[in-house]
Amino acid sequence: MPELPEVETIRLQMKEEIEGKKIESTKVISDKPLGNTTVEEFKERVEGAFIKDVKRRAKILIIKLSTGDSLLIHLKLTGRLLLLRPSVPIEKHTHLIFNLNDGHQLRFWDLRRFGYVKLVSGKLKEVLELKKLGPEALELSLNEFRNILAGKRSGKIKSLLLDQHFIAGIGNIYSDEALFYAGIHPERNVATLKEDEIARLHEGIRKIMSSAISYRGSSMDDYVDLFGKQGDFVPRHKVYRRMGKPCKACGSLIKRIKVGGRSAHFCPKCQV
DNA sequence: GTCGATGTTATCAA
DNA sequence: TTTGATAACATCGA
């Protein structure tokens, strides 16, 4: 479940390890992640290209190629990007392999196959899935946060935090953790939020996700970093998947409910 | 063997 | 308009 901190962890590692490298060849084991692009076109346009930059927008990784094309990578629920030696056996659920000119392979692995690696040409500003995204969660000032909240007349705050058109980058883990930080119940109606609660929520989003990046993300199920290592943030979770366990602040038992079809974890005493 | 849960997003229905 | 259900897919545990 890579969210912004997990994707950013991989981006920072990729920038360090593969920027400037050349993609000598590719192997397409499954073409599903490619979307509408044919294997022939994918190979033709990617092979021989240099990796100029590795960027991120929300939970989407963007590899800029020397040809002007870009690769948009979304890991969705279970996707992994791994940098490995070619001698490492190809694991089940590996769908794409990029052979780099330094002898390493970048492999795309995805258990549930929801993720994608899409080749897009030219201007990223016209790519629909990027255009539709709301402001970056970590680049949003309190004023901007207040303004976009003010535009909402109703709705539960948890669902809003998960809506990528509203704010981009937050997923189920960090929405729960940010709401705990702010002492706000996940089902609170947005319109009832007080000024100090909005400020605390804004602060929580920034503090928790920045901290999660420094711990290289949360490894709950399938997420690992570029080197296959687990992130270290899970022990810092206050509520996410801690149902039935004592709240780290007050000792009350953490609850789990469904909000908008998603599981929401919270402390019934700290989050009124 | 079946059911439900896991969690991101597009799409479609109400 | 907005919300909610569903589907895409694979695995695990009850």
Sequence-distant (6+) residues with CB within 8 A of A72 are A60, A61, A62, A116, A117, A118, A119, A120, A127, A129, A130
**What is the pLDDT averaged over residues A124-140?**
88
How many Å apart are A199 CA and C8 C1'? 37
The encoded tokens of residue A144 equal: 């901007």
User: What's residue A131's pLDDT?
Assistant: 87
Amino acid whose CA is nearest the C1' of C7: A114
Asked if CATH classification 3.20.190.10 holds for the domain at A4-124, the reply, yes or no, is: yes
A12, pLDDT greater than 90: yes
**Residue that the structure tokens 């020397």 belong to:** A66
- pLDDT, tens only, A21-39: 999 999 999 999 998 899 9
Position A272, amino acid: V
Those residues whose beta carbons lie under 7 A from strand B are: A 1, 3, 58-60, 74, 76-77, 112, 114, 129, 132, 162, 164, 171-173, 220-221, 241, 256, 262-263
Position A103 scores a pLDDT of 97
Q: Identify the H or E element spanning A49.
A: none
Task: Supply the mean pLDDT for chain A.
Answer: 92
Catalytic status, residue A86: no
Asked whether residue A44 carries a pLDDT value surpassing 90, the answer given is yes
Q: For domain A137-266, say whether CATH 1.10.8.50 is its number.
A: yes
A93 touches strand C (CB under 7 A): yes
Which pLDDT score, from 0 to 100, does residue A57 have?
Answer: 94
pLDDT at A221: 80
pTM of the model: 0.95
- The answer to whether A2 is a known catalytic residue is yes
Task: Give the residue among A219, A222, A227 at the shortest CA–CA distance from A18.
Answer: A227
Strand B nucleotides, any atom under 7 Å from protein beta carbons: they are 5-10
Q: Catalytic annotation on A262? A: yes
Percent of chain A at pLDDT exceeding 70: 100
- Residue A112's φ and ψ, nearest 5 degrees, are -95, 0
Distance from residue A166 (CA) to nucleotide C3 (C1'), in Å? Answer: 15
Model confidence pLDDT, tens digit, residues A150-204: 888 778 899 999 999 899 999 999 999 999 999 999 999 998 999 999 999 999 9
Q: Which residue is nearest to nucleotide C6 (CA to C1')?
A: A261
pLDDT in tens, A65-119: 999 999 999 999 899 999 999 999 999 899 999 999 999 999 999 998 999 999 9
What Å value separates CA A157 and C1' C2? 15
Q: Is-contact A166 A190, C-beta < 8 A? A: no
Contact A212, A169 (CB under 8 A): no
pLDDT at A260 over 90: no
* A137-266 has the same fold as A4-124: no
Q: In the beta sheet, which residues pair with residue A72?
A: A62, A118
Kindly list the domain boundaries of chain A, sorted by start residue: 4-124, 137-266
* Residue A1, token pair as written in the block: 């479940």
Told to judge if A21 belongs to the known catalytic residues of this protein, a careful annotator would answer: no
Q: pLDDT value at position A140?
A: 93
Other CB atoms within 10 A of residue A101 CB: 12
pLDDT at A222 over 90: no
* Stronger pLDDT, A272 or A83, i.e. the higher one: A83
Token code pair at residue A192: 């009832």
Predicted pLDDT at A83: 95
Given the residues A2, A5, A33, A186, the one annotated as active site: A2
